[in-house]
Chains A and B, each alone.
Chain A
Amino acid sequence: MEHIRTTKVEQVKLLDRFSTSNKSLTGTLYLTATHLLFIDSHQKETWILHHHIASVEKLALTTSGCPLVIQCKNFRTVHFIVPRERDCHDIYNSLLQLSKQAKYEDLYAFSYNPKQNDSERLQGWQLIDLAEEYKRMGVPNSHWQLSDANRDYKICETYPRELYVPRIASKPIIVGSSKFRSKGRFPVLSYYHQDKEAAICRCSQPLSGFSARCLEDEHLLQAISKANPVNRYMYVMDTRPKLNAMANRAAGKGYENEDNYSNIRFQFVGIENIHVMRSSLQKLLEVNGTKGLSVNDFYSGLESSGWLRHIKAVMDAAIFLAKAITVENASVLVHCSDGWDRTSQVCSLGSLLLDSYYRTIKGFMVLIEKDWISFGHKFSERCGHLDGDPKEVSPVFTQFLECVWHLTEQFPQAFEFSEAFLLQIHEHIHSCQFGNFLGNCQKEREELKFWRNMYHQFDRTLHPRQSVFNIIMNMNEQNEQLEKDIKDLESKIKQRKNKQTDGILTKELLHSVHPESPTLKTSLCFKEQTLLPVNDALRTIEGSSLADNRYSEYAEEFSKSEPAVVSLEYGVARMTC
């Protein structure tokens, strides 16, 4: 709280991001301990969580006031104009402090109170049980067992306590192998395919340098390929470009030498590193945020950002992995440099392709818990939760979500969850509202005790979309109501039949039936009424409020410009009555 000097500023303008004529909304800006809140004159609220703020920029003073540009990690960009420079400066300084916390204890998750009691809280944390998940895959079994080698995080700090390894791999082999692997991340089981008896394993790069070898590591790999009774050879996938892997050799790291390991087939996949991905996303966002973009600039920008090329590289790797297992019955060992970024992407996407369970809502949460959280994807550093090295920030998980989104687009029926679920997850890896994504690995967490639409989800005027989802949900509701009506009517018919069989239809009975008919009528009316909200919903999502409408701006352009230069840059608002 000590960072907040001004809590409320009035007469602040919120500029339209894509408007070419500086259209704006006027309202009041509030600064709270956790959020920045803007309420415009139509009482529409814009909430921005401090943790979502990626950067705050104060631009040069203009005649109308001091511009403040805030870029968020969920790809929202807001452009305020604060009338007085002092207020602007105060807010700017407060936000700088509030958006970058130095300690985990200051994060929102520790102050967020959802009004749950302790048992509910515990239930939430116990919802996903990874031991249960490995049981579902069919391990431990005659080939794979639970190893207690890392029980106290002694062998590898960034791995979880419970690891599954081949039954024939003894503890000395594991310890030996871990010494030969970067950060001690030795090969362990990530996914076991029950039908094919093949496994996806993961590790970090070997410390092979130019010639070093390690017998224990070679034994462990052999044990993995022996654990697959169908196929004697196994794939080792290095997800880095070959050049990067070779460069690592000079630093005493590197990749497996096929001559030293029996029965392995070595393969480079060529996914770029976190720094390339970071700048690629940066370029993509720059293109998407350009005012008055032409179609050709958009596509050349999209291409030069390389974002889709990187997405494709990750997808290709996952497809290669899935094919190796389903077509060739071969086990696969995946690694990159440290085995927590690209390896997590490829292992989890591969599992998603192979196993329909991961395409359910629960299964997807399990997948993230297993391949990302438990195996030590450094969420806090990659998402910049705390004030730290900006070079460690990278959209690795965002990329994974986008890959999944591409799959949902191609196979709309295969997934239980929708785009909204992926967006919600993306929102919360940055929000620090819940404890799930805090910290960099399991150990650290215990010591603490405790995605086109993606990039334009807030630019409502740019993507007019009638919601199919709303209509289907409405139909669903309506159907439930109809089913209820049917049940009611059926029970009434039964009653009547009983009465008929019981006795004679007297006039009194007929009278007693009368009051029922109005209820029947109301239920029919209700049916018509439920149909209407569809239209209402449609109007509300289209944002037909004057504020959202780009027309006033258009009219300006109209009267200002000469006939030959009138242009409709950005599309128009949406439905208007």
Chain B
Amino acid sequence: MEFAELIKTPRVDNVVLHRPFYPAVEGTLCLTGHHLILSSRQDNTEELWLLHSNIDAIDKRFVGSLGTIIIKCKDFRIIQLDIPGMEECLNIASSIEALSTLDSITLMYPFFYRPMFEVIEDGWHSFLPEQEFELYSSATSEWRLSYVNKEFAVCPSYPPIVTVPKSIDDEALRKVATFRHGGRFPVLSYYHKKNGMVIMRSGQPLTGTNGRRCKEDEKLINATLRAGKRGYIIDTRSLNVAQQARAKGGGFEQEAHYPQWRRIHKSIERYHILQESLIKLVEACNDQTHNMDRWLSKLEASNWLTHIKEILTAACLAAQCIDREGASILIHGTEGTDSTLQVTSLAQIILEPRSRTIRGFEALIEREWLQAGHPFQQRCAQSAYCNTKQKWEAPVFLLFLDCVWQILRQFPCSFEFNENFLIMLFEHAYASQFGTFLGNNESERCKLKLQQKTMSLWSWVNQPGELSKFTNPLFEANNLVIWPSVAPQSLPLWEDGVSLCHPDWSAVARSRLTATSVSQVQAILLP
């Protein structure tokens, strides 16, 4: 294998593994191309199988000839390995460092993983855009599928198939693409069957300082309005930031050119601000000193819950425009690949009962995150323990999952899936044996031939045996719009998600406890 030269010491005996919640285990440590494995070589004892790609940072320490490696994982776990022998320890550490930071995507585990289960339904074909389109094409004939981006030439971050107004031809779309950031022309994100209102998303318009305009762009978004109706444009940046963007060629829709639209600015933070917030939060969660005041001020200083509140508020506003005001909306930020997607997908959770089912939620992630071009590869390259400053990392997807958890907590009977499902998605977004979250957009995934060379996460999740772990026993389907509260008093910290492995909270153990108690109740109640 290609990794042989990176692994100097493939095996060490008498290694002691320390993990929170578990007693220390002594065993043999093995290093393979993709995994760190520890086995005590006894029956029914714990073993460690850790993907190298899950490792965020490592520390080494030496006391005499006993070396200690502390591994900090992207899912926030912290693991300690005591390795006898200085040389072995150094070798293992350098191998882990090299293997966890492989440059080439094609060397990642998904390209080597062979499933041990029989694939009943290929997840790569579970959620095709054509099928999704059929769901609302019966209700409206105002939309069509466009193949204008077939070769990824018009917009590199869009999928080959997008939904656009019927009255706009592909030629116009090409022109609009030149007027929108990254070529991301307005496309349909959600169709509200109840009143025919829609959510569209795009990149920012490239108005620049001289107020450029594009007739086709105006025509495109006006085509979605009914006669005499006004629509709302939700800009996920504050007015200030949007104005500053003009200097760099970006900007926002001018009232004069879009008289039928009203612009609302909501400020959702992005990039390094979110990443720093996560780093501070995880730091606070790992703080060993038990001091109530310091914990609260650290939690406050991380601003994590403020971000949650802002995102949820914007999503509620979008949902309100659709359901209550009866107005269509266009949502964009700068690129339209981060905060935009948070808002469009959360609005659908609020409005659309289907997106609260397991398959519906999978379809939502496929449509609004993977197909819509959220750059998972860049955003999830490092997690909360990374100490090198990098520009592209941000816990955008984790924040989205946290927001879903907040709604789930307020409406525990309205979701078909449970918290474990959200945690599982978070873990796989950062490190996985499946190819689903590899690459930054459809075009990259096509080039990597992921469909042919890797397994889809959905192929595994949608097996009946696996689904049972993620099913909410309290689920009662309802066709209602659910309106969450966004008051600070109603937004607690997602302990199990964010402080997954805090050494002193039995948070995880506790969540298992509640889950099992509910299933026990079910076992008793359902003969």
Contact = CB atoms under 8 A, between A and B. Distances in A.
Interface of A: 18, 288, 293-300, 302-303, 306, 308-309, 311-312, 410-413, 452, 456, 461-466, 468, 471-472, 475-476, 478-479, 482-483, 486, 534-535, 538-539, 551, 554-555, 558, 563-564, 566-568, 570-577
Given A534-B476, A575-B483, A288 B489 contact: yes
Contacts of A558: 325
A173 to B, nearest CB: 41
A551 B413 contact: no
Given A452-B492, A465-B410, 20 more contacts: A295-B300, A295-B308, A295-B488, A296-B306, A299-B305, A303-B300, A412-B510, A463-B485, A464-B485, A466-B411, A466-B413, A475-B522, A475-B525, A479-B526, A563-B264, A564-B265, A570-B485, A571-B485, A571-B487, A575-B411
A71 to B, nearest CB: 17
A312 B292 CA distance: 7
Given A476-B525, A576-B480, A577-B480, A555 B324 contact: yes
Contacts of B317: 566, 568
Nearest to B516: A413
Contacts of B98: none
B488 A293 contact: yes
Contacts of B492: 452
A312 B291 CA distance: 9
Contacts, number: 159
A412 B513 contact: yes
* 9 smallest beta-carbon distances between A and B, as pairs: A571-B485, A298-B488, A572-B483, A299-B300, A303-B296, A309-B292, A571-B486, A575-B480, A295-B306
A288 B324 CA distance: 29
Contact of A535 (B299, B308, B476, B490): B476
A471 B300 contact: no
B486 A568 contact: yes
From A308, A483, A486, residue with most partner B Cβ within 10 Å? A308
Nearest to B480: A575
A466 B413 CA distance: 7
A574 B478 CA distance: 13
16 contacts: A288-B489, A293-B488, A295-B309, A295-B488, A296-B300, A299-B305, A300-B300, A411-B513, A412-B517, A465-B412, A534-B476, A538-B478, A551-B320, A564-B265, A572-B320, A575-B480
Interface string B303-319: 10110110001001100
A354 to B, nearest CB: 19
B70 interface: no
Nearest to A480: B525
A300 B293 contact: no
Given A468-B412, A538-B413, A554-B324, A18 B484 contact: no
Contacts of B480: 539, 575-577
Contact of B525 (A465, A479, A568): A479
Interface in B451-499: 474, 476, 478, 480-492
A18 B296 CA distance: 24
Nearest to A561: B264
Contacts of A538: 413, 476, 478
B414 interface: yes
Contacts of A412: 510, 513-514, 517
Contact of B489 (A410, A456, A575): A456
Given A573-B483, A575-B483, A551 B324 contact: yes
A482 B527 contact: yes
Contacts of B482: 464, 574-575
Given A303-B293, A572-B316, A468 B485 contact: no
A321 B44 CA distance: 37
A151 B503 CA distance: 52
A50 to B, nearest CB: 28
Contact of A410 (B325, B506, B527): B506
Contacts of A462: 485, 487, 489-490
Contacts of B320: 551, 554, 568, 572
B39 to A, nearest CB: 33
Contacts of B411: 464, 466, 575
A293 B306 contact: no
B513 A535 contact: no
A13 to B, nearest CB: 23
A554 B323 CA distance: 12
A535 B476 CA distance: 8
A452 B488 CA distance: 11
Contacts of B192: none
A293 B300 CA distance: 14
Contact of B487 (A293, A299, A308): A293
B263 interface: yes
Given A413-B517, A554-B324, A463 B484 contact: no
